Amino acid sequence: MRKTIIAGNWKMHKTVAEARELAQGLVNGVKAELGSAALPDIVLCPTFVCLPEVLTTVKGSSLAVGAQNMDYRDSGAFTGEIAPGMLTSIGVSHVIIGHSERRQYFGETNESVNAKTRAALKHGLIPIVCVGETLAEREENRTDDVIKQQIKAGLAEISVEDAAKLVIAYEPVWAIGTGKNCEVNEANRVCKMIRATINEIYGQAGGTVADGIPVLYGGSVKPSTIDEQMEQSDIDGALVGGAALKVEEFLPIIKGGAKRHQLSASRA
């Protein structure tokens, strides 16, 4: 049974006090509305300066904390960077790698994504590796080719054992922060293609390794879209941006993930 994962990417939002308030609201909301129900993995990804406060706030709850980025090196004269060991030392469990905004604005490449993914795995972090096509690439019917290349380059030199620890997030760049949403059947098709590509990389065309890897959808996920997305065969959760910044919007998305998780558990 693949995990269902609902991750909130807070991007460059929230002061420390605001992050504490949001995290506490989510802890309280999950407890009040879902109680002892089987829950998906819930991951909050605030800015670096808010990580310690959010970790303290969610301690003892069912929520985990992830970082939005990291460097692949362990230490050194790299002003402004954060090493993976620094994240694990304070209790961070996940890290987003290769988000389209990092690729677009900060020069992330498939090669840097690969280096960071390998470093995250080395340090025991769970990488949420992002892939996705731009609007121009989609209009040129290059979606599959672009994403396959991102997957193949991103997983270079990663063993099958480590690949099994990954989380992949499909985020069509043209749907991030735009209010546009990828047609759910198409999003599911791409997620299925991602899984098939991973199996192809590891020589298991008949399946196994990728069958256990969660593939999330990201791109203007909202309370109004989550139920339909969670009904799909190959979408195992969501990487949520804007809707993760308010308890009243993120909590319904968590509940949508809980429905999928509970259904999957009942079928296992």
Q: Which residue type sits at 256?
A: G
Model confidence pLDDT, tens digit, residues 3-44: 999 999 999 999 999 999 999 999 999 999 998 788 999 999
Q: Which of 197, 70, 206, 169 is nearest to 125 (CA)?
A: 70
Model confidence pLDDT, tens digit, residues 148-179: 999 999 999 999 999 999 999 999 988 877 77
Domain ranges in the chain are 5-267
> Residue 128: helix, strand or coil by DSSP?
strand
Neighbours of 165 (CB within 10 A): 16
Report angle CA 90, 92, 93 to the nearest 5 degrees.
Answer: 140
| 8 A C-beta contact, residue 67 and residue 94 | yes
Least confident of 81-85, 122-126, 227-231, 264-268: 264-268
What CATH architecture does domain 5-267 belong to?
Alpha-Beta Barrel (3.20)
User: Given this model, what pLDDT does residue 263 score?
Assistant: 84
pLDDT, mean of residues 224-229: 95
Q: Pick the catalytic residue: 94, 99, 123, 261?
A: 99
C-alpha–C-alpha distance, residues 20 and 44, integer Å: 11
Q: Pick the catalytic residue: 133, 137, 171, 261?
A: 171
DSSP 191: H
Q: What percentage of the chain has pLDDT greater than the value 90?
A: 88
Assess whether 171 carries a catalytic annotation. Answer: yes
| 8 A C-beta contact, residue 193 and residue 144 | yes
Assess whether 53 carries a catalytic annotation. Answer: no
Neighbours of 209 (CB within 10 A): 18
